[in-house]
A and B are shown apart, each in its own frame.
Chain A
Amino acid sequence: MAGRVKIFVPRETAALSMGADEVVAEMLAQGRLHGRDIELVRNGSWGMSWLEPLAEVIVNGERVAYGPVAADDVASLFQADFLSGGQHPLKMGATSAIPYLEKQDRWTFRRCGLIDPLSIEEYRGNGGFAGLEKAFELGAAGVLQELKASGLRGRGGAGFPTGIKWQTVADAAGEQKYIACNADEGDSGTFSDRMLMEGDPLTLIEGMLIAGFAVGANRGYVYLRSEYPLARTVFLKALAVARESGWLGKNIQGSGFDFDIDLHLGAGSYVCGEETAMLESLEGKAGLIRYKPPLPAIAGLFGKPTVVNNVVTLASVPEILVRGSEAYAALGTGRSKGTLAFQLAGNIRRGGLVEIAFGLTLRELIEDWGGGTFSGRDIRAVQIGGPLGAYFPQHLLDTPLDYEAFAALDGLIGHGGVVVFDDSVNMAAQARFAMEFCALESCGKCTPCRIGSVRGVEVIDRIVANENRDANLELLQELCDTMVDGSLCAMGGLTPFPVRSAVKYFPKDFEGSSAVQASAGVNK
């Protein structure tokens, strides 16, 4: 009888939705049938969602991947002796050699997929908490210095320099300060926060600890969207594991530093991903936008100085400290330093998470990693940066992935979600959807967003229906101006960007005649 074999099958939402649990059950059953002693590790996802469920076995000390595995495939895998790396149509070879993964610059996600997310030993064994130890060594001021030098910018969407934000909180008066982690990942086509919290939650905890240490906060809150039940379960367990092992709570590892974290669930509101609405919600109030200033860094949660950062931002910090700001800043381009975990979604062949340095073009990302559309048809538009991001037409796909380059084209990098549409898309319907989404998700506080979004839908309908086309097109542009210039936050302020890009780059779709609609095909 052969020795004990380790198999990895992710416990990650995308993998689960593709039947990972059934695969696991079948593997265990087949293992018993074949008399094999199997240790099944539920790791996080490597981010190659197109290969999920991705099963890995250790062969000669190397992880060999098979995917996407369905429960029905398991018997044949055993027959092919996959436990020893046997040949099988699903065999992808060594995981680390899969080009999709190999070509990435894995910093933030370097442990994601690699380890058992809830094992402190594996975390430590793979460089975990080295960032925090480095922080203790550098001291708070040193951490802030490193972070500023790294050029890390907020990965939640706004791209504000993280080091400066932390410095502001560190310098703010007051004894009580907070770290608030925004895990209300609501942008369409995004899942990097979730993957990290499911696959390597201790990195987020470590990032928050470093933040707390650097700014003088002893309390952190994670605001997690309620649509992520698995992330919640895993993260809560990770908190317990960290507490039990002395990496969270009083006097962490004898350093004298106290820090603890609470998890708070959202209630299904997109706008609560906006930092001030999130703070309101954390305080137990309705998720309405607060005006700024004062910035949350000065008066944030419960009126105290607060670092509000996205999951990926915080989780990026430990590795930056470990490898040094210089190495991080050497990656990327212009003022967009380091890496971003892009997420490929929509009509794309190889959807998943790709952590790469800034500077690549959008086309390279979509084609080299994504492999073009899932439908095989031509790409017509790409929306990047979530529902408030502009639609990019073919001729702009060579834009480099860089905050400023996108901004120059009225576009967003945002949280790095890339949603691909093929040539069957009706862009008037997409423009309408942008307004409709705003109407649905507006907090309702400011008038341009609350009423403007509703009127936006109506005006687009009139344009498409050929009612006073020119006047209504002009009204739509004025409405967009009103929303951009008048809205209280980015929700209403950015909604016009996808609308305007659709009008600008795809004017024919708004001509409303049946011919256009027929040729374009009706979107859903």
Chain B
Amino acid sequence: MTLLKEPDYGTPLSPREDLVAVEIDGLPAKVRAGTTVLRAARESGVDVPKLCATDSLKPFGSCRLCLVEIEGRKGYPASCTTPVEAGMKIRTQTPALAKLRRNVMELYISDHPLDCLTCSANGDCELQDMAGAVGLREVRYGFDGDNHLFEAIDESNPYFTFDPTKCIVCSRCVRACDEVQGTFALTIEGRGFKSKVSASMGESFLDSECVSCGACVQACPTATLMEKSIIDNGQPEHSVLTTCAYCGVGCSFKAEMKGDQVVRMTPYKDGHANHGHSCVKGRFAWGYASHKERVLDPLIRESIHDPWRKVTWDEAIQYSARRFKEIQAKYGRKSVGGITSSRCTNEEVFVVQKLVRAAFGNNNVDTCARVCHSPTGYGLKKTLGTSAGTQPFDSVMDADVIVVIGANPTEGHPVFASQMKRRLREGAKLIVVDPRKIGLVRSPRIKADFHLPLLPGTNVPMINAFAHVIVSEGLVDEAYVAERCDTEAFAAWKEFILQSENSPETVSEISGVPAEDIRGAARLYGQAENGAIYYGLGVTEHSQGSTMVMGMANLAMATGNLGFTGRGVNPLRGQNNVQGSCDMGSFPHQLSGYRPVADDAVRGSFEKMWGVELDSEPGYRIPNMFDAAIAGVYKGMYIQGEDLAQSDPNTKHVEAALGSLECVVVQDLFLNETAKFAHVFLPGTSFLEKDGTFINAERRINRVRPVMKPRQGKGEWLVTQELAQALGYPMNYNNESEIMDEIAALTPTFSGVSFKFLDEVGSVQWPCNEKAPMGTPIMHIDNFVRGKGLFIETAYVPTEERTTRKFPLLLTTGRTLTQYNVGAQTRRTDNIVWYHEDLLEIHPSDAELRGIREGDRVSLSSRKGEVTLEARVTERVQPGVVYTTFHDPQTGANVVTTEYSDWATNCPEYKVTAVQVAPAVHRSEWQQQFDQRAKEQGKILETT
């Protein structure tokens, strides 16, 4: 294990593929046309000195170290800004160049502290390296001239410092913020010698518009922008390639280590999902793994009102097995079940669902995708044949019109958002369909061509209106439809969509969006060469979530926008491995690869491999589990890495259900909200301790590699395996790799996958099998997976959740950049400086009507319950709509949400709840109970 230093070619790869022959220092070289002289030299192994150039940024030409001589040209052109030409003869090392470079370096060092030995960048400083490379031996200007050595250090950001005394004004940070992240928070203030990197308008980094993605820190060639973890710990000595465990983008990282201590997470340039970029969570928010509240010992207790007792692994596992067996003996085989986790690896998920099916002997397994993207699986499977997104992320760089529906990429999927914004800055058009003015609607250098601020719950009529315009205005790609789709279904759909109920004029009345905007947006998409749809939970978490997914698929098929780069229908998946947990057969009706459990042949293959007879009848979905628990027929749950009590809707109902169970085994990092109802707590591992795979939103199977041993002593797969064994089912893997081998053997879309293969190729997008040995970046090329694309009529059925005089506002919920889902991880990091609690966004007119001012405490109530929280008065929401996040258990946003759910998949309707907002003084009744319980459980905790 060594420190992985990635090569820096100085300027980006030329997009051209034709080659040009040049001569560099007398040696012939062939490089892509359009390549800079600097890159040409570096690709040929000639390291021309450089400081302002780096291959993640466009050439800039400021440092003047990379000057070269080119035969036939005057002077000393900067190699970073000079493209090669055929036959060019380049000299990178001559006495004149040596002197010039040394003299430029002398100028740099005349305004730089000479504290290399005590500098945090010592050993990883490009300025230091270059001073060495050019052979600087003296600074004839002395050090008493004008300088920046007494500027103040900005330590406001929790994760990095800005030390202007070390700045060489290469603008790499500014350019990274602009070009890579797309936030434009940094600038160079002043000019000439007074040029200074400045966050926003001369603010501190923390107070500025900086989103703390860290791209600037990564780009900095000196210690000017430096991770505090490096300042504290020194330089890393080895690195491990792994995958981020936050959102579904699945960024590749180098975990940079000192022994088994992480000192820095650096996004990996060769990561195909992130290309060396990251967000504040992935790069910085990993401290939770060593947070003091992390539980490292197995705990058990008789009743949820008892104190926890630390026990051995063996005791905890035997205790759990005994209680499950007793329950099954008393209440029947189907009285227990399990929940797999989208936070865990595929291997960990696979063994949990296997335990349920093989050891519990039923199909009562479900996963958190139930509450997020289950409609995606359903809708895309029905129409196209595959329960997943159609494109790689990179496809967005070929899109001409981008439609974002019910997703907030700059907060939820920041790294992909940066890529999308890059494409938008290149000129792609943007349509945002969202009740709120999300960041993409208007941000520096980005302006949506259309923002359709529809009322929550009116997605389906909106997508139908799009289709209506496209069909009625002759924008259907008839040849594509005729060749690739079920024409009979298309004809029926066409007739349906042309009905006046689907016209923009009618839908305008339902959605509140002007008809001409709907028409304009639909035409824009319909006429696009490459139209791409990206969507999130604003699509799925509705009573018609599955309908909407099918509606988008219909639209994309009708316009020929599937099967090519730059197009597609793409779910932005919320969790690191939500795609994988679905792929692994976590659903009660499906085995891995989305194959029905009721299918004898499919089931048979598993029975044969597992040596056990499997139940052919689908099991309970999560909401069914709660209902069955309250009905008294469901009594035990094994819950891995999922905080049902905080994340599922209608909290009081969930709590009632959990409270009625006789055995709840929670496997997690922390004693979460669900653990308050648990009898056994099995400590889990963080992603830093896992060996396995995650699958991101683009079906990319990424390797997760352990940088340290499991801190609680056992891999989670092994815990599950031992529990299975204790339940009497012989599960005997030697390691995680063997689990993947079994997944590959049982799942046709994964048959080519193994750890060994992934370690060789980096990552691969499923299907990966004999037909597609290197994976499948784009789905449905030439043909749809299901055969003919199937148009399905998507009639609008309004949700039963409607505003009334008592509950006149519509609540919709979502996430914020610095926090992640239930906040279990991010609340235990310094990300809390950007977030102290969930806030309620309310429009100024609604606030004024209620006498609510910015920062007031307000009550938020629905038919289901009431919470209080702080108001943020903002025009980001439209009148009549309020918004909050669900990151903080103390707020309990889901106390308010209802049990309404998607008709096909039971995905809860988080996005539409009729509510009332009023000024409040005290915490709500539920919150007071929460406080009480937290206090009681706190006492119990002290005894552990």
Q: Which residues of A contact B (CB under 8 A)?
A: 269, 271, 286-288, 291, 293, 439-455, 458-459, 471, 475, 478-479, 481-482, 485-488
Contacts and interface: CB of A to CB of B under 8 A. Distances in A.
25 contacts: A293-B81, A293-B82, A443-B192, A444-B169, A444-B188, A444-B192, A445-B62, A445-B171, A446-B62, A446-B63, A446-B64, A448-B104, A450-B192, A450-B193, A452-B107, A453-B193, A454-B193, A455-B141, A475-B140, A475-B141, A479-B103, A482-B103, A485-B96, A486-B103, A486-B104
Nearest to A461: B145
A458 B169 contact: no
A485 B100 contact: yes
Contacts of B195: 444, 450
A452 B100 CA distance: 13
A89 B100 CA distance: 62
Q: Residue among A291, A441, A478 with the most chain B CB within 10 A?
A: A291
Interface in B71-107: 75-76, 78, 81-83, 96, 99-100, 103-104, 107
Contacts of B169: 444, 447, 450
Contacts of A443: 191-192
Contacts of B107: 447-448, 451-452, 455, 482
Contact of A485 (B75, B83, B171, B190): B75
B760 interface: no
A383 B146 CA distance: 28
Contacts of A269: 191
Nearest to B108: A447
A266 to B, nearest CB: 13
A444 B193 contact: yes
A447 B63 contact: yes
Given A447-B104, A458-B141, A453 B192 contact: yes
Given A291-B78, A482-B103, A286 B64 contact: no
Contacts of A447: 62-64, 104, 107-108, 168-169
Contacts of A448: 64, 104, 107
B61 A442 contact: no
B766 to A, nearest CB: 40
Contact of B103 (A459, A471, A478): A478
B673 interface: no
B721 interface: no
Nearest to A475: B140
Pick the most buried of B61, B145, B191: most chain A CB atoms within 10 A of its CB. B191
Contact of B191 (A444, A452, A478, A487): A444
A445 B191 CA distance: 8
A225 B673 CA distance: 65
Given A441-B191, A448-B64, 16 more contacts: A286-B188, A288-B188, A291-B60, A293-B83, A444-B188, A444-B194, A444-B195, A446-B62, A447-B64, A447-B107, A452-B107, A454-B145, A454-B146, A455-B141, A458-B145, A482-B107
Interface in B117-141: 140-141
A268 to B, nearest CB: 10
Contacts of A481: 100, 103
A471 B142 CA distance: 13
Nearest to B195: A444
Contacts of B111: 451
B199 interface: no
B193 A485 contact: no
A446 B188 CA distance: 13
B547 interface: no
A286 B96 CA distance: 33
A485 B67 contact: yes
Give the one of A443, A445, A485 with max B CB within 10 A: A445
B110 interface: yes
Contacts of A288: 188
Interface string B365-383: 0000000000000000000
Most buried by B among A444, A449, A478: A444
Contacts of B193: 439, 442, 444, 450-451, 453-454
Interface residues of B, number: 37
Interface in B49-68: 59-64, 67
B110 A451 contact: yes
Interface of B: 59-64, 67, 75-76, 78, 81-83, 96, 99-100, 103-104, 107-108, 110-111, 140-141, 145-146, 168-169, 171, 187-188, 190-195
Contacts of B141: 455, 458-459, 475
B186 to A, nearest CB: 12
A278 B42 CA distance: 33
Contact of A291 (B61, B168, B171): B61
A488 B192 contact: no
Nearest to A484: B75
Provide the main secondary structure of the chain A interface: helix
Nearest to B51: A447
Q: Which 7 A-B residue pairs are closest in the complex by CB-CB distance?
A: A444-B195, A291-B61, A442-B192, A291-B81, A451-B107, A482-B103, A486-B64
A442 B63 contact: no
Contacts of A449: 192
Nearest to A445: B62
A449 B64 CA distance: 10
A487 B64 CA distance: 7
Contacts of B63: 446-447
A112 to B, nearest CB: 34
Contacts of B140: 471, 475
B313 to A, nearest CB: 61
Contact of A451 (B67, B108, B190): B108
A372 B193 CA distance: 39
A414 B457 CA distance: 67
B90 to A, nearest CB: 16
B194 to A, nearest CB: 7
A231 B107 CA distance: 41
B50 to A, nearest CB: 12
A50 to B, nearest CB: 36
A487 B171 CA distance: 17
B192 A441 contact: yes
A479 B103 CA distance: 8
B93 to A, nearest CB: 16
Nearest to B65: A447
Contacts of A471: 140
B59 to A, nearest CB: 7
Contacts of A485: 67, 75-76, 96, 100
A439 B171 CA distance: 19
A461 B146 CA distance: 13
Contacts of B171: 445
A475 B100 CA distance: 13
Contacts of B192: 439-444, 449-450, 453-454
A440 B190 CA distance: 10
A395 to B, nearest CB: 29
Contacts of A488: 61-62, 64, 78
A510 to B, nearest CB: 18
Nearest to A438: B192
B101 to A, nearest CB: 9
A488 B190 CA distance: 18
A234 B863 CA distance: 69
Which residue of B107, B140, B188 has the most chain A CB atoms within 10 A of its CB atom?
Answer: B107
A418 to B, nearest CB: 27
A481 to B, nearest CB: 7
Contact of B104 (A293, A439, A442, A482): A482
Contacts of A451: 107-108, 110-111, 193
Contacts of A271: 191
B59 A291 contact: yes
Contacts of B64: 446-448, 486-488
B71 to A, nearest CB: 17
A445 B59 CA distance: 13
A51 B145 CA distance: 47
Nearest to B80: A291
A225 to B, nearest CB: 16
